[in-house]
Structure 1
Amino acid sequence: MQRDMDLCRKILQVIEGGNDRPHTIGVTDLGEDEAFNVTQETLNYHVKLLIQADLVNSSGTLVRGIPVVRGLTWKGHDFVESSRNQGLWEKAKQTVKEKTGGLTLELLSAALASVAKKALGIDD
């Protein structure tokens, strides 16, 4: 299964909008956006990736195969904040894809910071 960074971003936004009580994320939590018409299996896979990347806190348990989450980590909050603006998000993704041909969390985070600095008129 391929990693979808747009889906990862959406999951992080959903978790941020929730609470820190242990809970699962279901496909209905993503809303009715056609871009996120995914299966629960795909969603579970991406939640597990976000836990592995230390962006999401987890209780370490599964409910009917669905990972139980407990909110975002500091790193997760930073990523959500830096990717909140849709225009900056698209520019960062485009920049990384053009230069490297792929998307990684590390490169996206760096590109988001760079794009934001440019928007603020701050030189790197």
Structure 2
Amino acid sequence: MKRDFELFREILLLLEKLESFDDPVIPNIPDRTKHEVVYHIKLLSEAGLIEAQNWSTDDGPEWVATSLTSSGHDFLDAARNNTIWKKAMSIVVAQGAALTIETLKAALSKVVRDMLQ
């Protein structure tokens, strides 16, 4: 399965809307399978943007989100705005750089900095 940065953003936005993380969460996202969402929760956890728990069983993988991290909030603050998000994604693609969390963070920071000048 490929990483989907749009799905990363969608999961983070949904998690931010939660009033609490009293119960671990697997967000229900239209047009996405549970398997896709669970896989991306695992990747977001590995990237340090969320805290998650591995509840996998013999029936398959099961990662649940337990909170956003400070880095996750920072990333989301930059990525929330559609215009900034699209510009950052286009910068990474135009430069021919590998699309990773780190390159996307750098591009988001550049777009925000450019807007502040």
TM-score class, shorter: 0.7 to 0.9
**Conserved in 2, the CA contact under 8 Å of 1:83 and 1:112?**
yes
Unpaired segments ≥5 residues, structure 2: none
Which of the residues 56, 73, 98 maps onto 1:77?
73
| Partner deviation per Cα, 1:25-53 (whole Å, 9 max, x = no partner) | 143xx3x5xxxx12111111111100111
Q: CA deviation at 1:57?
A: 0.9
What is residue 25 of structure 1 aligned with on the other side? 26
Q: In structure 2, what residue type is equivalent to 1:100?
A: G
Q: Please give the alpha-carbon distance, in whole angstroms, between the structure 2 residues aligned to 1:26 and 1:73.
A: 17
Identity of aligned residues (%): 34
Q: Please give the alpha-carbon distance, in whole angstroms, between the structure 1 residues aligned to 2:97 and 2:72.
A: 24
What is residue 54 of structure 1 aligned with on the other side? 48
User: Helix, strand or coil for the counterpart of 1:76?
Assistant: helix
Q: CA deviation at 1:59?
A: 3.4
Q: CA deviation at 1:101?
A: 4.8
**Conserved in 2, the CA contact under 8 Å of 1:22 and 1:68?**
no
TM-score by length of 1: 0.83
What is residue 15 of structure 2 aligned with on the other side? 15
**Conserved in 1, the CA contact under 8 Å of 2:49 and 2:68?**
yes
| Partner deviation per Cα, 1:93-118 (whole Å, 9 max, x = no partner) | 00001102541100110110110111
Which of the residues 82, 87, 111 maps onto 1:91?
87
Equivalent residue pairs, number = 114
Q: Please give the alpha-carbon distance, in whole angstroms, between the structure 2 residues aligned to 1:43 and 1:59.
A: 14
**Conserved in 2, the CA contact under 8 Å of 1:57 and 1:71?**
yes
Q: Please give the alpha-carbon distance, in whole angstroms, between the structure 2 residues aligned to 1:108 and 1:3.
A: 13
TM-score by length of 2: 0.87
Q: Please give the alpha-carbon distance, in whole angstroms, between the structure 2 residues aligned to 1:52 and 1:58.
A: 9
Q: Please give the alpha-carbon distance, in whole angstroms, between the structure 2 residues aligned to 1:50 and 1:72.
A: 10
TM-align CA RMSD: 1.8
